[in-house]
Amino acid sequence: MCNGDKLLLATFQLEKDTRAWWESVEVTRANGQFTWAEFKEAFNSKYFSECMQERKAVEFAALKQKSLTVAEYKAQFSRLARYAEHLVNTERMKAKHFLNSLKPQYIIQLAPLDIQTYAEMVKKAQLLEDTTDFTDRIKGKFVKKEMSSGLSPAKPTNGKKHPFNITEGSSQERKPKVFVPNTLTKSNCKHCDKPGETEDDPYTQEDGNDQE
């Protein structure tokens, strides 16, 4: 849209007090002709103080998409851009500024395309948003289906093996055996009534002579 068309559109949308104001301004010139730049300067001087214009320019410079949709961000961008025309006075500058205020993941994908015009940048950003929303919905349905079927995504082990857990009652868990020597129980000899000899001990020898 050329500047002449912008001027016609802007003056056509003026209502009541603003239209009366503009008509009073037009009569100050013999031919009643104003340029688009002159109209903006006169309008802003009337309805926006210099302090207000500076505040809007700062707001535009700090504008970020964040949680806004591309359409919502574009509306904010267009509303504030007129207060900071020194930042967007060419198509390439306007496209670049729009790009730099998008979400980081959009910047990563759109920056390599080297888009030269604002309209093309908005179009590509909107297409990217639509594609991202679509793939996110597909992923969400897939995860929901896995959860309903009792499956859960596998968790990475970082190359480490899980330790072997011995469950209660398994053959891997054994109590150590305690071996007790099998000693003979001794009692007094039934023949001589001496302690420490078993019943199977032979007769004791007396005075070195064998018992007959």
pLDDT 10s digits, 161-204 = 555 454 444 445 555 565 555 555 555 666 666 665 554 544 44
Of 108, 129, 146, the last residue of a domain is 146
Nearest to 25 by CA among 41, 49, 13: 41
119 and 76 together in one domain = yes
pLDDT band at 103, cuts 50/70/90? very high
* Together in a domain, 115 and 32: no
- Indicate the length of the chain as a whole number: 212
Q: Using CB atoms within 10 Å of the CB of residue 98, give its burial: 0 to 12 exposed, 13 to 18 middle, 19+ buried.
A: buried
- Does residue 196 form part of some domain? no
* Residue 192 is assigned to a structural domain of this protein: no
| CA–CA separation, 79 and 20 (whole Å) | 24
| Of residues 46 and 110, more confidently modeled | 110
Q: Do 29 and 89 share a domain, yes or no?
A: no
* H/E element, 150: none
**Residue 142 is assigned to a structural domain of this protein:** yes
Query: Pick from 146, 163, 191: which residue ends a domain?
Result: 146
Q: How many other CB atoms are there within 10 angstroms of residue 88's CB atom?
A: 20
Q: How far is CA 54 from the centre of its chain?
A: 35
**Residue 135 shares a structural domain with residue 84:** yes
Full-model pTM: 0.52
Residue 160 resides in a domain? no
- Residue 131 — very low, low, confident or very high, per pLDDT cuts 50/70/90? very high
- The answer as to whether 173 is a domain residue is no
Report the domain count for the chain: 2
Residue-range definition of the domain harbouring residue 139:
55-146
Query: Is 157 a residue whose pLDDT tops 60?
Result: no
Among candidate residues 146, 165, 182, the one where a domain is terminated:
146
Instruction: Please check whether residue 164 lies inside any domain of the structure.
Output: no
pLDDT at 206 over 60: no
Q: Is the pLDDT of residue 40 over 70?
A: yes
- Alpha-carbon distance of 196 to 189, in angstroms, equals 8
Same structural domain, 35 and 69? no
CA distances from 88 to 81, 132, 143, 179, 191 (A): 7, 28, 44, 93, 127
